[in-house]
Homo-oligomer: A and B are copies of this chain.
Amino acid sequence: MKQRIGIGIIGFGTVGCGVVKILIDQAELIRRRVGIPLEIVGIADQDITSDRGIALDRGILTTDVKRLIDNPQTDIVVELIGGLEPAKQFIVAALTKGKPLVTANKALLAVHGEEIYATAQQYGVDIGFEASVGGGMPIIRTLREGLAGEKVHTIYGIINGTANYILTKMNEEEVPFQEVVAEAQRAGFAEADPSTDIEGLDSAHKLAILINLAFGTPVNLGDVYTEGVTSITSLDLEAAREFGYTIKLLGIAKWSCGDARLPQGQIEARVHPTMIPNHSPLAQVNGVFNAIHLVGESVGDIMVYGRGAGSLPTGSAVVGDLIDIARNLVTKACVRVPHCSFQPDAREMLRLKPMAELCCAYYLRFTVQDTPGILSQLAGILGDHDISIASVLQRGRERGGKVPVVMITHEATEHNIQAAIQKIEGNLSERTMIIRIESQ
């Protein structure tokens, strides 16, 4: 039997430091749980001189990733550099050497997941990627294991802490978007270039991973409708409140049981600002917190909630995966759980429903010249497109000036909404704000 499990870490940045710190600080706790110690045998980074404030034998630091992977003492490889390359080549090198892997790299898994899972399968090694979605909150393990007997048909996720922080601040303090972004950057909650977070791409990466685990189908990231939070204004947040809703950037996925709206074999997958009722559990999730609300056929509603990012929370998920794989190495139970929750030969290619066929209620905010008959014109065009109005809010009129007119529609198709808006916008000088509503 093995006397210890050797860990080789590629990337000694924010998450890498968190992993190293936990492996050192909780070494005794981990040994008490696994039975044998997890020992860091190597850390590879381009920068091996900066002081990270962690006491360790500097001899284990290296700039040579290949040597770290090839080291016979490295039992598990941890990839924490992020991005597509060279992360992918390091991961493939580890897997083809028969070394199990733990990664937090959502972009890579969303884009090249199929190839990576197939390589891991071919070489009979495990991949842990709990840290790729929702930091320390237990969502990957819950989908791959706890809910393995469950038809999870709906996923609603607040899976980007930066976007959620920005919307929370805008909502609580009525500060405009650009100001909140600048503040989030100063506070360390947003990157210098926050576009991946605020434009929804990061959420789309994570959603693609969740769909693969829950529905057993890969999705082509380019086909997932992705809209960020950059157009949301305080006006929209305020109007939402008036109607009893909160606006959140959600990753949404649905798997049909074959009803008329979502035929058998089809799925929905989309990322966009979403109005949800104030009483829904996700509406209470504020600041940098992430949460995922799942609905399963048997289990009903489940929510997991936690810190979606950060050195130690993400590090904790990595260490949980290391322990999982260590237990597999000790019991020689590699690939005990299929990488994508479904057996490789039992996955299917489900069709992504085109966005134009989406059917839901909508929030529409028009900016109109305040002239007599304008409301009747708007309502007329909407009516012509089979869109019926549930509520209207018009206020703060300035004689002859521009005023916002806010409407909540009954259920309509995206195709009809877009066609109506296009027709209406011919007469307006400003873009119309469209926010989709999920009643949950």
Q: Give per-residue flags for A241-272: 1 if the beta carbon is below 8 A from chain B beta carbons, else 0.
A: 00000000000000000000000000000000
Contact of A313 among B138, B149, B298, B331 (CB under 8 A): B298
Q: What's the minimum C-beta distance from A28 to chain B, rounded to whole angstroms?
A: 9
Kindly specify which of A55-63, A160-168, A300-308, A407-415 makes contact with the partner chain.
Answer: A300-308
A45 at interface by CB-CB < 8 Å: no
Residues in B whose Cβ lies below 8 Å from that of A428: none
Q: What's the minimum C-beta distance from A113 to chain B, rounded to whole angstroms?
A: 18
A146 at interface by CB-CB < 8 Å: yes
Give the interface residue-count category, chain A.
35 or more
Contact B343 A149 (CB under 8 A): no
Q: What's the minimum C-beta distance from A253 to chain B, rounded to whole angstroms?
A: 17
Query: How many copies of the polypeptide does the oligomer hold?
Result: 2
Contact A316 B336 (CB under 8 A): no
A296 at interface by CB-CB < 8 Å: yes
Contact B142 A138 (CB under 8 A): yes
Q: What's the minimum C-beta distance from A57 to chain B, rounded to whole angstroms?
A: 21
Contact B320 A33 (CB under 8 A): no
A182 at interface by CB-CB < 8 Å: no
Contact B336 A298 (CB under 8 A): no
Q: Which residues of A contact B (CB under 8 A)?
A: 18, 21-23, 25-26, 29-35, 130, 135-138, 141-142, 145-151, 216, 281, 284, 289, 296-307, 310, 312-313, 315-317, 319-320, 322-324, 327-328, 330-338, 341-343, 346-347
Q: List 25 A–B pairs whose Cβ atoms lie within 8 Å, in order of A's numbering.
A: A21-B298, A25-B297, A25-B298, A26-B150, A26-B298, A30-B149, A32-B346, A33-B342, A33-B346, A34-B343, A35-B343, A138-B138, A141-B142, A145-B324, A147-B320, A149-B320, A149-B322, A150-B319, A281-B284, A298-B312, A298-B319, A299-B312, A303-B306, A328-B333, A333-B336
